[in-house]
A = this chain, B = another copy of it.
């Protein structure tokens, strides 16, 4: 795939959602999720949770990867949770977080190339 794009390529590039303008409401809802993951620590936390054994992780599993305090990690987890990217369940001392795949699907489907989406539809 060439890095160069032509106007023709761009017309072909996008999911059905991108083939018509998003409404202000749709944009606000989707942008909230993109904003939550548009921060390096939060995106890395998301990947750490998604890839952790059993698909879930507690703060105790996550702090080691960062030179950040527990409360800072917890703040970022809260932002991800409020945007619906992850969900948490308290079990004993810890809250265990896991990815909400339906949210990732919703936002990735906005961006995924139409040719790929056509195959998987």
Contacts and interface: CB of A to CB of B under 8 A. Distances in A.
A41 B116 CA distance: 26
B50 A27 contact: no
**Chain A: interface secondary structure?**
helix
Contact of A35 (B3, B20, B33, B35): B35
B35 A38 contact: yes
Interface in A83-121: 87, 98-102, 104-105, 107-113, 116, 119-120
A23 to B, nearest CB: 8
B20 A51 contact: yes
Interface in A45-62: 46-51, 54-56
B111 A108 contact: yes
Given A1-B102, A102-B5, A30 B43 contact: yes
13 contacts: A3-B102, A5-B102, A9-B101, A14-B101, A18-B51, A21-B47, A22-B44, A22-B47, A31-B42, A31-B43, A34-B43, A35-B39, A37-B111
